[in-house]
Amino acid sequence: MVQRLAVKPPIRLASNSVSEITRDDAIEALKLLINVDALTESQIILANPIFISRDNSVSRIELAEIDAAVAVLNKAKTECNAYLLREDGFECLLVENNIRSMVRDLGEISSQGENGITYSIGGPSLAFIINTLHVIRTEKRKPSSRFMHVRRRLRDSYGFSRPKEAGDSAPSLQDILANTEIVTTLKIRSAKPRADFKEIAESFLFELAYNYDVSYIIASDLGQVLGARDARRRGRASGIMDAPRMVYNSDLIHHYQLAISADSPMLKYISYYHIMEHFFEKVFNDDLVEQVRRKVADPSFSLKRSKDVQGMIKIITNSQRQVRDEGGVDEQRSLFLVLDRYIDIGRLVADLNSYDPQLIDYYKANSPSFSENVLTDLGATEGERIKKALAKRIYQTRNSLVHAKDGTRPKYFPFVNDLELSREIPLLRFCSEQVVIVHGKII
C-alpha cells in the first residue's frame, strides 16, 4: 500500500521570469490532465495508469522530472504565454494554417557549423505544458475540445494494438504528453546566446512553407489550447431551430458562409464587408437622386434662375467626378448610408452585449493599432454621429487589410495583428447580419 505523504514545502527556484511557479503549482496544473492518487518522497502515483501500448503502461511519475521542468520554466521569459525564451533557446506555440500543415515528424534540422542553431517541430516540452496548464488553472479558462480529448485519453484506461516490444522502457512524462498532440511547438536551440529567436523562428517557418507547401504561424496567445470564442448569439446553438420564414439574397448568403467557415480573421472581415459593399452603388445613387429631388422641391429653387439650375448641375457633376477619379462611389460615404438605412443601433448593441459585454466599452476606448483614431461610442445619443463613427472605423479597418503601401500610415500585419482584428469582427458581423435579414423576403 502506498503511503500518502504531505506535500513538501514549495521548491522555489531563482529566475528572471515575470512570476515563478513552484513544484506544487506544477502538480496542481498537471492534475487538469492526469489523475493523481498520491505523492511519495520522489514520485507521483497515478490513480489510473496511462497505457503506452497494449502491454505497457505508466503508473508513476518521477518528481525529479517535474522539478527539472519547473527550473527550465522559471529561468525562461514568457510573452502572452505562447512562447518561452531563454538565452540559448526558444519554444513557441504553432498554429496550423491548413490541414496539410502536418510535419510533426520532421525531426531536428541543424545548421551544423554554420551558426550552431538546431530547429525541431513536434510535441511541446514539459515546461511548456506545465506553463499552459498553469494558465488554464489560475485564470479559470475553458480549454478547447482538443485539450479535453487528450484529457480523456490520459485519464481513461485504453490500449493500442501494438504489443510491447523488447527493449521498451517506461517513457517520461515529457514523452507521453508530447505524443498526445495536444499542441505543436517549434523548439530552437543555439550554441550561443541570442536575442533574435523570434526572427529566426519566422525565417525557419518561411523556408518550411517554401519547401513543403505547409503553413505554420507563431501563435500570439494560448487561444488554440484555451479555446477560441466564436461570435454566437443567445440560443443559436441550443434547442430546436425554427424553419426559415424568409428567403435571402444568394450573393449575400455566399459571402456570409465564407466568413463563417474562414479560419483567417482577415478573410472573415473582408467577407462580412462584402455584404455591406453589395449595396454601395445603390445607396450612393439613391442618395444622389434624393439630393436632386430635394433641391428641385425646395421652395427657394427656380427653374427660371440659371444660378439655381447650375447649382443642381454642380451636385451631379461633382458626384460623377468623384466616381471617375476614385474608380467608383465614395466608399466611406456609401458605408455610412448602408448603416444609416439598414442598421438598428439598439439591436447591434444588444447583439454585442449578448456576445461579450466588454466590447461596447472596448470600442469606445480603443482603436486598432493598424487604424487611425476611430473610437466608436455606440452608447451615444446621436444616431447619425454613431453611424458616421462606425463607418469610419469599419472602412479604415478594411483599408488596412487590403492596402499595404510602405509609409507612415498604420498598416495591418498578418498574424501579428490577428488578435486585434478578431475584436473588430463581431461589430461587422452583426451589422452584416442585419443587412442580410432586412433584405429577406417573407416566404
Number of CB atoms found within 10 A of residue 37's CB: 14
Q: Do residues 412 and 400 make contact, with C-beta atoms less than 8 angstroms apart?
A: yes
Number of CB atoms found within 10 A of residue 135's CB: 18
322: burial class by Cβ within 10 Å (0-12, 13-18, 19+)? middle
Which residues, in sequence order, are CB contacts of 135 under 8 Å at separation 6+? 81, 141, 222, 226
C-alpha grid cell, residue 288? 444622389
The pLDDT of residue 320:
64
Q: Note whether residue 331 is domain-resident.
A: yes
Q: Note whether residue 115 is domain-resident.
A: yes
What is the rounded distance in angstroms from the CA atom of residue 121 to the CA atom of residue 260? 30
Same domain, residue pair 216 and 269: no
Could you give phi then psi for residue 171, rounded to 5 degrees?
Answer: -75, 165
Q: Do residues 348 and 430 make contact, with C-beta atoms less than 8 angstroms apart?
A: yes
Q: Note whether residue 236 is domain-resident.
A: no
Of 304, 69, 293, give the one whose Cα is nearest residue 175: 69
Same domain, residue pair 216 and 336: no
Q: Alpha-carbon Rg of the chain, whole angstroms?
A: 29
Instruction: Calculate mean pLDDT across residues 162-166.
Output: 49
Task: Using the predicted structure, report yes or no on whether residue 236 has a pLDDT greater than 70.
Answer: no
pLDDT in tens, 123-158: 899 999 999 999 888 888 877 777 888 888 777 655
The pLDDT of residue 103:
56
Distant-in-sequence contacts of 318-321, Cβ < 8 A, 24+ apart: 319/288
Q: Note whether residue 18 is domain-resident.
A: no
* pLDDT band for position 2 (cuts 50, 70, 90): very low
DSSP 369: T
Same domain, residue pair 124 and 263: no
Task: Using the predicted structure, report yes or no on whether residue 406 has a pLDDT greater than 80.
Answer: no
Q: How many CA atoms lie within 13 A of 200 on its CB side?
A: 20
Q: In this predicted model, which residue has the larger pLDDT, 397 or 204?
A: 397
Same domain, residue pair 212 and 254: no
The pLDDT of residue 126:
93
Could you give phi then psi for residue 263, rounded to 5 degrees?
Answer: -90, -30
Angle, CA 13 vertex, CA 9 and CA 18 arms, to 5°: 115
Same domain, residue pair 412 and 331: yes
The pLDDT of residue 431:
96
Same domain, residue pair 252 and 362: yes
Task: Using the predicted structure, report yes or no on whether residue 120 has a pLDDT greater than 50.
Answer: yes
C-alpha grid cell, residue 148? 479535453
pTM of the complete model? 0.64
Q: Do residues 316 and 270 make contact, with C-beta atoms less than 8 angstroms apart?
A: no
β-pair partners for 95 = 217
Length of the chain: 443
C-alpha grid cell, residue 232? 454566437
Same domain, residue pair 348 and 278: yes
Instruction: Calculate mean pLDDT across residues 328-349.
Output: 89
Query: How far does Cα 188 stand from its chain's mean position?
Result: 24
DSSP 143: P
Q: Note whether residue 15 is domain-resident.
A: no
C-alpha grid cell, residue 94? 504553432
Give me the amino acid identity at 23: R
Helix (H) or strand (E) holding 37: strand 36-39
The pLDDT of residue 218:
85
Q: Note whether residue 231 is domain-resident.
A: no
115: burial class by Cβ within 10 Å (0-12, 13-18, 19+)? exposed
Number of CB atoms found within 10 A of residue 249's CB: 17
DSSP 42: S
Same domain, residue pair 219 and 284: no
Same domain, residue pair 304 and 348: yes
DSSP 61: E
Could you give phi then psi for residue 364, rounded to 5 degrees?
Answer: -75, -35
DSSP per-residue codes, 226-268: H-PPP---TTTTSSPPPPP-EE--HHHHHHHHHHHH---HHHH
C-alpha grid cell, residue 139? 485564470
- SS3 of 367, please? coil
Q: Do residues 186 and 106 make contact, with C-beta atoms less than 8 angstroms apart?
A: no
Number of domains the chain contains = 2
Task: Using the predicted structure, report yes or no on whether residue 436 has a pLDDT greater than 90.
Answer: yes
- SS3 of 329, please? coil
Q: Domain of residue 31: give its range.
A: 23-163+174-226
Same domain, residue pair 190 and 255: no
pLDDT in tens, 299-331: 776 676 777 667 776 766 666 666 555 545 688
Same domain, residue pair 192 and 253: no
Instruction: Calculate mean pLDDT across residues 408-436.
Output: 89
Could you give phi then psi for residue 4, rounded to 5 degrees?
Answer: -85, 125
Q: Note whether residue 5 is domain-resident.
A: no
Task: Using the predicted structure, report yes or no on whether residue 240 has a pLDDT greater than 80.
Answer: no
| Alpha helix segments (H runs only) across 31-117 | 63-75
The pLDDT of residue 366:
93
Same domain, residue pair 139 and 43: yes
Q: What percent of the chain has pLDDT over 90?
A: 33
Q: Note whether residue 149 is domain-resident.
A: yes
Q: In this predicted model, which residue has the larger pLDDT, 234 or 200?
A: 200
